[in-house]
Each structure stands twice: as C-alpha cells, then as structure tokens.
Amino acid sequence: MSQPFTEVPLTPLRKAIAARMTQAKQTIPHFRLVANLEIDALLRWRAAFNEVDPKKKISVNDCLIKTVAMALVYNPALNCQITDTAIHRFQSADISIVIALEGGLATPVIRGAEAKSVMKISEEVKDFAERAGSNALKLSEISGGSFSISNLGGFGVEQFDAIINAPQCAILAIGKAEPRVVADGLKRTKVATMLTCTLSVDHRAVDGVEASKFLQGLRDVISDPKRLECA
C-alpha cells in the first residue's frame, strides 16, 4: 500500500531553478576549497560600528559582502564569467546574493560592492530582501553578477557546498560562525570565533592556485577590518 502524500505542483520559479541547477551540475566541472576563517577582529569592528548609531546597524553578512568584493578586486581571476570562446574578467565586483523565497530563490546583485560602504551594502540588502518577498525585483536587479554568495549561517548550518550560478565561475558558501578551540601562531591554544567558507569554482576558468589566493585575500581583509572603511 502506498504512503499518503501531498502533491506540490512545480511553480514556474521552481521549474526555472531546477533547469538552471541541473544544467550547472551537468556542464560545469566544479571543484571546491574549504577555509576556516577567524572573524573576531571583524566582529569587534562591527560592534564598534553599530555602537555609533543604533539606528544604523550592519550585519556580519553585510561585512562579508564587502570583504568578498575587496578580495575579488585583489584577485580578479575569480571575478569573471565564462563564454564559449572567452573568459570575461571584470574590474568591478558585482555580487549576487542568494535570498530565500517562498518556494524558491532570488539572486539580486550588489553592483560595484568594492566601492560601496558597508552601510550602503546593508541598505541595499535589506531593500532587496523586502522586495524579493513581494516579487517586486526588477530583471535588471537580478541579472548579471560576477560572483555569488550564499549564507546559511543564520540557519545553524556549519558548512555546505553551493552550485555555481552560471555564467559566473565561483560561489562562496558561508556557514555558521561559532567559537572553536584553535592554535595560535605560537602553537598555543585559544578560543576563537571561526567561520567555515566553501568556495565552489568552475575549473574551466579558474585553477586551484588562483582560488587559493582569493581565499587568502579574504582572510587578509577579515583580519584587518579597518580596510572595510575605504569607501
């Protein structure tokens, strides 16, 4: 006897997501790198920022978007799209952010994120999230993008892999920040707030060394968050 079930029809959005994800998995040779990043300096910088004006607060994710954008400018090999005949490397970091919707996803783009303040990025993210929920995003706001970020840390996920958003060549999957016992440079143990990030990369366009340099650039900016004040 078959078990009872509820049939959920595939919406046009769900069908579109299914088609894009299937094509990406079948046609893009993914490889992945995992980095555990200490973010205590970033958390202190954010806390000091938020104390200045309680009405204007930024999230850790807002800071990470700016951090990723800066790392992409330093390492443009990952700030790209691929075509049948060429790799297009962009000078500006247009970051697609994955936003969960009822029955699907939206990927609005923070354009020129490396040149925007974290506060400006925060305002755009909040606006996108609000309008995405009411299906009010414009096509121009969800198209393009040179790199993607998917953050599931707020849902308690420690680590995950994300599928590349073609024709982009990389996506960063961000897990939950949590205290862990780690060794410092003198081989002494300490408790630090660690963030696990998994970078999925299109091997047709990017090799392992270039991807590793991007993650090192990400670590460098996170360890010196005053650099986020450049815009």
Q: How far is Cα 81 from Cα 29, in angstroms, rounded to an integer?
A: 14
Rounded Cα gap, residues 64 and 69, in angstroms = 8
**91 neighbors 115 (Cβ within 8 angstroms):** no
Structure tokens at 37: 């990043």
List of E strands, the chain:
30-38, 80-82, 87-89, 95-97, 99-101, 104-106, 109-110, 147-151, 170-174, 178-183, 189-202
As given in the structure block, the two tokens for residue 95 are 């970051």
Task: Report CA torsion sign: 84, 87, 88, 93.
Answer: positive
Closest listed residue to residue 214, CA positions, set 199, 196, 195, 194: 199
Q: How far apart are CA 132 and CA 27, in angstroms?
A: 29
The verdict on whether 203 is a catalytic residue reads yes
User: Does a cis peptide bond (omega within 30 degrees of 0) precede residue 179?
Assistant: no
Q: How far apart are CA 181 and CA 179, in angstroms?
A: 7
Catalytic hit among 32, 88, 126, 203: 203
Active-site residues, by number, are 203
